[in-house]
């Protein structure tokens, strides 16, 4: 094939945006109601604040805000499919995506949710790429949105300190594999033998068919943090390596590692394991906490707005979450207008 050939069909990133609710919760505010303190939270997680929804605000509200901004950033008025990836849908039924699509004036487009907990954005990307490369869709809006504050027990000090609410969205269009912004290679995986490490026990068919009283704690998010931590480091490093291998890249080819923002210590451990200098690890967990399926697009929107990521830079995205699930993918950053910053970073630098 001549070198100027456009390459096989691919999905190309052409717009992105992040959005967080305006209410900020600092570590000091959490310490007023929980047996914790700012120093513990910063040292163990790297988090100094997070954004949370106001009463009555739901996941679709955040998804709509980020989706509208991503469409504007891409300069497009319509898409063929809307995918929302979330662990905190507005309701168990129906899916959140059709509501979001209708509110964005996109009624008529295919719309469905993807669930892979904190790996949802990478699974959603793979799904969007599949729709585009199989010619089912020309353009897809993918939104990662979560409101963990609605499922975490506010008195659970281990989890209440980590999670924040937010949404991030990308627009993908049909293009070719050699264009900057073309998404691929992927690695996706799961291990359901560890399903009990991250759960919301009540609200599904397992609990409903068993009948009986539902304990309040079963309605809340539960995580065996320490075990999850160990799996996260191992699986993220393995997934990153598998993806690089498939693409014929080495770690030196990666300009920016954009991991799911679980906990700064996890991100640094994975970077160290991969032999990647920590400065190449994109981190915004200090400002927004762990925002679940929103975390990678929010981190991308933050870095793009700060112009820390530039056209042509090569990115490795890696996520890990409940299921267990994990996944990675590669892309070269396209030429895009600088997006608006999704939140005020405050005065302190990124750790
Ligand atoms: O998003 C997808 C997946 N999620 C993750 O990747 C999160 C992974 N896990 C984590 O980030 C960490 O495990 C946590 C931040 C949740 C917890 O940090 P840790 O360093 O693993 O703490 P630990 O659970 O081992 O607890 C150590 C100690 C315990 O006290 P004792 O038993 O040693 O006396 C906890 O009770 O720290 C205590 N502790 C706290 N102390 C002050 C737990 N939470 C807090 C807290 N403030 N907020």
CATH class label, 183-332: alpha beta
Ligand 1 centre distance from Cα of residue 305 (Å):
32
Architecture field, domain 9-176: 3-Layer(aba) Sandwich (3.40)
Contacts of 157 (CB under 8 A, 6+ apart): 30, 34, 35, 36
Ligand 1 site, residue 321, Cβ cutoff 6 A: yes
Taking the CA of residue 295 as reference, the ligand 1 atom at the shortest distance is 1
pTM for the full predicted model: 0.96
**Which strand (E) or helix (H) includes residue 44?**
helix 38-45
Ligand 1 centre distance from Cα of residue 323 (Å):
20
The question of whether 118 is a catalytic residue gets the answer yes
* pLDDT tens for each residue of the chain, 351 residues long: 444 566 789 999 999 999 999 999 999 999 999 999 999 999 999 999 999 999 999 999 999 999 999 999 999 999 999 999 999 999 999 999 999 999 999 999 999 999 999 999 999 999 999 999 999 999 999 999 999 999 999 999 999 999 999 999 999 999 999 999 999 899 999 999 999 999 999 999 999 999 888 998 999 999 999 999 999 999 999 999 999 999 999 999 999 999 999 999 999 999 999 999 999 999 999 999 999 999 999 999 999 999 999 999 999 999 999 999 999 999 999 999 999 898 887 766 544
Per-residue pLDDT, 4: 59
Per-residue pLDDT, 7: 77
Using alpha carbons, select from 94, 185, 133 the residue that is nearest to residue 9: 133
Q: Which of 51, 220, 260, 268 is catalytic?
A: 260
Same fold yes or no, 9-176 and 183-332: yes
For 243, half-sphere exposure in the C-beta direction (CA atoms, 13 angstrom radius) is 30
CA distance 266 to 225: 12
Domain boundaries, the chain: 9-176, 183-332
The question of whether 93 is a catalytic residue gets the answer no
């Amino acid at each position: 094939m001549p070198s100027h050939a456009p390459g096989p069909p691919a999905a190309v990133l052409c717009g992105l945006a992040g959005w967080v609710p305006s209410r900020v919760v600092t570590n000091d505010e959490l310490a007023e109601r929980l047996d914790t303190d700012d120093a513990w939270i910063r040292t163990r997680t790297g988090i100094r604040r997070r954004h949370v929804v106001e009463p009555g605000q739901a996941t679709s509200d955040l998804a709509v805000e980020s989706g509208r901004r991503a469409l504007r950033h891409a300069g497009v008025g319509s898409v063929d499919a809307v995918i929302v990836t979330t662990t905190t849908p507005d309701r168990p039924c129906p899916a959140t995506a059709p509501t979001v699509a209708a509110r964005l004036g996109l009624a008529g487009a295919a719309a469905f949710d993807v669930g892979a907990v904190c790996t949802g954005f990478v699974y959603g990307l793979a799904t969007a790429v599949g729709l585009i490369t199989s010619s089912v869709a020309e353009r897809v809006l993918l939104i990662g949105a979560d409101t963990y504050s609605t499922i975490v027990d506010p008195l659970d000090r281990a989890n209440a300190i980590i999670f924040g609410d937010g949404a991030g969205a990308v627009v993908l269009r049909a293009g070719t594999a050699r264009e900057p912004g073309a998404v691929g290679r992927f690695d996706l995986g799961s291990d359901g033998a560890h399903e009990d490490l991250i759960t919301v026990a009540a609200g599904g068919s397992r609990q409903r068919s068993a009948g009986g009283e539902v304990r309040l704690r079963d309605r809340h998010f539960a995580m065996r943090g320490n075990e999850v931590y160990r799996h996260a480091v191992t699986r993220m490093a393995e997934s990153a390596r598998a993806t690089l291998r498939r693409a014929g890249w080495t770690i030196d080819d990666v300009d920016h590692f954009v991991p799911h923002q679980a906990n700064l210590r996890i991100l640094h451990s994975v970077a160290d394991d991969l032999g990647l200098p920590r400065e190449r690890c994109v981190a915004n967990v200090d400002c927004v906490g762990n925002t679940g399926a929103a975390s990678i697009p929010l981190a991308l929107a933050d870095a793009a707005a700060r112009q820390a990521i530039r056209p042509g830079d090569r990115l490795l995205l890696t996520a890990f979450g409940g299921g267990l699930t994990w996944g990675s993918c590669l892309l070269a950053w396209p030429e895009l207008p600088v997006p608006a910053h999704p939140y005020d970073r405050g005065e302190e630098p990124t750790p």
